[in-house]
Chain A
C-alpha cells in the first residue's frame, strides 16, 4: 500500500515510561510502505484513576485493531468488548498471584480499584485500498481531474470516549471524530470497563464514522490531550496537521515538552498515529 504509518508517544511529564497508560496497535505494522491493502489501527487511553489501566488498554488496542466487524456494527463492537472483559478476571487473578509471589501482596488501598476494574477509551480505524482504483482505473469519473483527489479506497472508524481521528485532505480538515470541538474534552469521557457486562450500554455510547481514502490524505489518531490541542488550533484558523506532519521521532518529545510548558498541551500521556497516503 502506498501509505506510511508512524507512531509517536510520550508519557505524562513527571511519570516514567513504565507509567504510560495509552496503548496502540497497528496491523500489519508501521513503516514507510505498509504491505498489503488493509491497515488496522487501534488506540486506547487507560484512565488514570483505575488499576491495571495500561494492561486493559493494551488488550483493547490489540483486539480492536484486527476485529473488522467492530468498526461497522455496534453489537459486534460490544461483543468484542465483552469478550475481552470475560478474560479480565483471569488477568486480575494472575496479577494478584504475581504480587504474592514477589512478596508484595495487595495493600488495602489497592483492592477497591481492582474490584472496580480498569477503564479506557478506544478508537479503532480501518483503511482499505481498492487495487482497482489505484492508478486511475475505476476511479469515479467525476472525481478525476485537476483539483480533485484520486479516490483509492475507504475508511471506517469506531470510537468510545475522547480518543480522536482527524482526516485531512488537500489542506482541509475533512473529518474530526468523535469530537469536533476542543471545549468538549473533560475528565469524564465514556470508557470501556474491564467488568462491563451490559452490551446495551456499550451500544449506546459507541460512535461510527466512515469516508473515502484518496492519494495525499492524512489520518491522525490522537489521544485526548493532543486531540484537544489539534481542535483548538484548527478553531483558531491554524493548520495543526502541518505541525504534526513535520514531526520526527526525536522532535516529537521536544515538541510535546515545549507545548506543555506553554500550557498549549495538557500534561497527559500522548499518543499519535499518523498515516500518510501517498
Chain B
C-alpha cells in the first residue's frame, strides 16, 4: 500500500513550497479582511513552516523529519525564497529552517478565559518569507525547479514518504500550461508512492471557501478548476485524518484548498504518537 512509509530522521520526507510572488498578488483578497493575496500567502507559508518546526521539536532541538525548500516565483524566475543565513538554499533540513527565520515577531492571540470572556496572549510568529508581488507568473518554471529538487532528493531517499509540493498562488500562470509541468513532477516517485502536488488557491473572485473537494463543480472560475485538475488526490491515510478532524472529505478528495486555511495539512502526516488530550 502506498503512502505508508515511516517518517523519521533516518527516513525523512520532503516539503517543497512554491510561492506565487507575481504582480497580481498585490490585489486585495476582497471581503472584510484588508489583506493582499501576497500577504495571505506569505502568512500561510510562515505558519506552515512554524507548524512543521513545532511538530518536529523535542528537548534536544528540532528533529529532521523533513527537508524543506521554499521557491518564490515572480518576474522571470523561480528561485529560493529563503533569506538571511538560508539565502539561496534549496532543500534544507527542518532544524536549520527552525533555527534561522528572518525574525521572530510577536502576535496577539485571543483565547477564551473560561468565564465567557477572552484573554490576549502573546505568541511568537517567526517570519521566513515576506510578501512580494512583482512581474509575471512563471508557474511552469517553478514546477520545473521543484521537479529538479524532488528528483535529486528521491535519488537519496528512495524509501521515503513521497515529497509533497504545495503551490500557493492565485493561479494565473503566464509562462505556459502548468498541467504538463505538474504531470512531469507527479510522475516522479519513491518506493512509497508518487510525488504529491497540492494547491492553495488564494483568489479575489469571492465565493465560499472550499477545502479538499472531490470534484470541480463548485469551483468559481477557470483558475480554480485548473489548479484542482493539477492537484493530487489525498492518500487514504491523510483523508482519514482529515475526516477525523471534521473536514468534509470523500474518496477522490484532492489536496486543493480555495481561499481557506491549509496549515492543518501539516497535521495530516504521522511522525509518531500524536499528543492529543482526552476528549
Contact = CB atoms under 8 A, between A and B. Distances in A.
Nearest to B10: A14
Nearest to A190: B278
B278 A187 contact: no
B55 A49 contact: yes
A56 to B, nearest CB: 11
Interface in B86-117: 98-99, 104
Interface in B1-17: 6, 8-11
A13 B126 CA distance: 32
Most interface-central of A108, A112, A198, A205 (chain B CB within 10 A): A108
B123 to A, nearest CB: 8
Interface string B159-203: 000000000000000000000000000000000000000000000
Contact of B278 (A110, A111, A205): A205
Nearest to A55: B59
Interface stretch (B25-33, B217-225, B251-259, B267-275): B267-275
Interface string A58-70: 0000000000000
Contact of A196 (B104, B244, B277): B277
B246 interface: no
Nearest to B95: A109
A48 interface: yes
Given A14-B9, A109-B57, A49 B277 contact: no
Contact of B273 (A107, A189, A193): A189
Interface residues of A, number: 42
A94 to B, nearest CB: 13
Interface in A223-278: 224, 266-268
A119 interface: yes
A44 to B, nearest CB: 12
Contacts, number: 91
A87 interface: no
A42 to B, nearest CB: 18
Contact of A187 (B58, B99, B124, B270): B270
Given A49-B55, A109-B98, A13 B10 contact: yes
Given A52-B59, A108-B104, A110-B57, A47 B278 contact: no
Query: Which among A15, A107, A196 has the greatest number of chain B C-beta atoms within 10 A?
Result: A107
A12 interface: yes
B71 interface: no
Contacts of A110: 57, 59
Given A12-B8, A14-B9, A109-B98, A188 B276 contact: yes
A128 to B, nearest CB: 30
A45 interface: yes
Given A49-B274, A204-B278, 16 more contacts: A14-B11, A47-B275, A48-B271, A49-B273, A50-B275, A107-B98, A109-B53, A110-B57, A189-B273, A190-B278, A191-B277, A192-B278, A193-B275, A202-B278, A267-B8, A268-B272
